[in-house]
Amino acid sequence: MTKSMLALGFKRCKSDTDVYYYYDKKTKALVIAIVYVNDICFMGTKGSLLLNELKQKFMARWECRDLSETTEFLGMYISHDRKNRKIFIDQCEYLEKVLACFNVVTNPTHTPLSSEFSFKLNEKQCDPKFYQKYQQLVGSLIYLIIGLKLDIGFAVVKLAQQMTNLSNDHY
């Protein structure tokens, strides 16, 4: 993928190697491409000739299709307020699916977990099936932290710290 992007004239971002950019000095147009495994998202000014040209060149090299304006990418939903030049990204649907999958009952609060919170130590041996389910839940929540939901980071770290000997109280 890197060879293809460089051959199209993109430069690779130094701080994130999955991000490429193309800047046209004459028109001052900027196109950004985010690559993740076999998914790619091209971004630029709506209706930009350069954006469309680069997408067409990319599609000539790789078997893919143009899904037009990006509204979803890697489980993140994207919306625009063009008038105020704002982009909104959320993973609410993914979070709702995770919570439903693991039968987690929610109790919405402004702060997910108090900084003074600590779990009670579990004196008993944990059921292996429960342990696996707990690991999957924590892993799914860590994915959210990496994506966008930093506000749950402290709570998820507290959950992860219980992996060695957890109980139903931790769920």
pLDDT at 58: 94
Angle between helices 128-147 and 153-160 (to 10 degrees): 150
Would you give the distance in Å from CA 90 to the centre of its chain?
9
Distance between CA atoms of residues 101 and 5, nearest Å: 38
Confidence (pTM): 0.62
Does 51 reside within a domain? yes
Does 60 reside within a domain? yes
- Residues in the chain predicted with pLDDT less than 50, given as ranges, are none
Does 164 reside within a domain? yes
* Domain residue limits at 114: 92-170
Distance between CA atoms of residues 76 and 151, nearest Å: 16
Looking at the structure, tell me whether residues 152 and 101 fall in a common domain: yes
